[in-house]
């Protein structure tokens, strides 16, 4: 009964107009990638009323609360959601230019530095433990760490020179292209998941949602040489 009430409330919250669009994503996706893109989308579709819901766990999403969602998935999409792959991930270690003064370290050498870690709540993202495991390094030897529950804060800490952060393309691209962050390691890890566009199963998409999906696909195609 509580679930039914919550979904009914969400239906009221979500506008019914064809020119209204409710997007959902994690804080990292919102701050580092989707947020900057939305300015260009508004220029292309000024009549669309956009609502952005930032939810850092897929379990917290109510099916009726959004039209489209953008999330990183390591496995299949959750029950009740349809998914379409937007792009596969590539994960490397990054730091500020001054932190290592241009050095590129071997994976095991990162153990001597402060590693900026995301709290376990975002389990779908690759952790430092997973990353080291795929590099053949024992993660139990990590000596220094700083743990935060929001990925954008970790990126800010890395930019400020407080340690080394795992960076996902294209989430980290803007900071790399600006020179705020540089690779810290010679080896990256890829093909363990990807970023997906999620839609509620059985829900007919609004006109604005269909237009946004096409626009986003075109944007990603344009950006593909840099991903």
CA dist 114 and 110 (Å) reads: 8
Q: Is the pLDDT of residue 141 over 70?
A: yes
Q: When comparing pLDDT for 223 and 168, which is higher? A: 168
Q: Is the pLDDT of residue 55 over 50?
A: yes
pTM score: 0.79
Q: Is the pLDDT of residue 11 over 60?
A: no
CA dist 69 and 87 (Å) reads: 14
At the fourth CATH level, which superfamily is domain 89-190?
A: Periplasmic binding protein-like II (3.40.190.10)
Backbone angles phi, psi at 83, to 5 degrees: -130, 150
Strands 144-148 and 114-118: parallel
| Residue range(s) occupied by CATH 3.40.190.10 in the chain | 2-87+193-226, 89-190
Give strand pairing partners of 53.
Answer: 24
Q: How many residues does the chain have?
A: 227
pLDDT tens string 179-193: 999 999 999 887 677
Among 68-77, 107-116, 146-155, name the most confident range: 107-116
Top CATH class, 2-87+193-226: alpha beta
Q: How confident is the model at residue 64 (pLDDT cuts 50, 70, 90)?
A: low
How many angstroms separate the Cα of 211 from the Cα of each of 111, 116, 124, 214, 217? 46, 38, 28, 5, 10
Q: Is the pLDDT of residue 21 over 90?
A: yes
Q: Is the pLDDT of residue 31 over 70?
A: yes
**What is the mean pLDDT of the segment spanning 124-136?**
88
CA dist 187 and 193 (Å) reads: 17
């Amino acid at each position: 009964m509580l679930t039914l009430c919550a979904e009914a409330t969400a239906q009221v919250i979500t506008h019914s107009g064809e020119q209204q669009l409710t997007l959902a994503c994690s804080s990292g996706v919102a701050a580092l990638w989707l947020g900057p893109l939305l300015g260009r989308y508004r220029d292309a579709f000024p009549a669309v009323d956009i609502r952005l819901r930032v939810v850092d766990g897929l379990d917290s999403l109510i099916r009726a609360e959004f039209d489209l969602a953008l999330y990183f998935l390591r496995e299949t999409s959750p029950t009740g959601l349809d998914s379409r792959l937007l792009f596969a991930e590539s994960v490397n270690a990054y730091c500020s230019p001054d932190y290592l003064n241009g050095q590129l370290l071997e994976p095991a050498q990162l153990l001597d530095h402060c590693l900026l870690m995301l709290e376990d709540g975002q389990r779908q993202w690759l952790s430092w433990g997973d990353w080291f495991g795929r590099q053949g390094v024992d993660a139990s030897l990590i000596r220094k760490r700083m743990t935060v529950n929001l990925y954008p804060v970790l990126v800010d800490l890395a930019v400020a020179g407080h340690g080394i952060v795992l960076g996902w393309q294209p989430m980290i691209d803007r900071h790399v292209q600006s020179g705020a962050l540089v690779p810290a390691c010679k080896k990256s890890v890829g093909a363990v998941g990807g970023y997906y566009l999620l839609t509620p199963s059985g829900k007919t998409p609004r006109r604005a949602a269909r237009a946004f999906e096409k626009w986003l696909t075109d944007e990603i195609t344009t950006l593909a040489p840099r991903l």
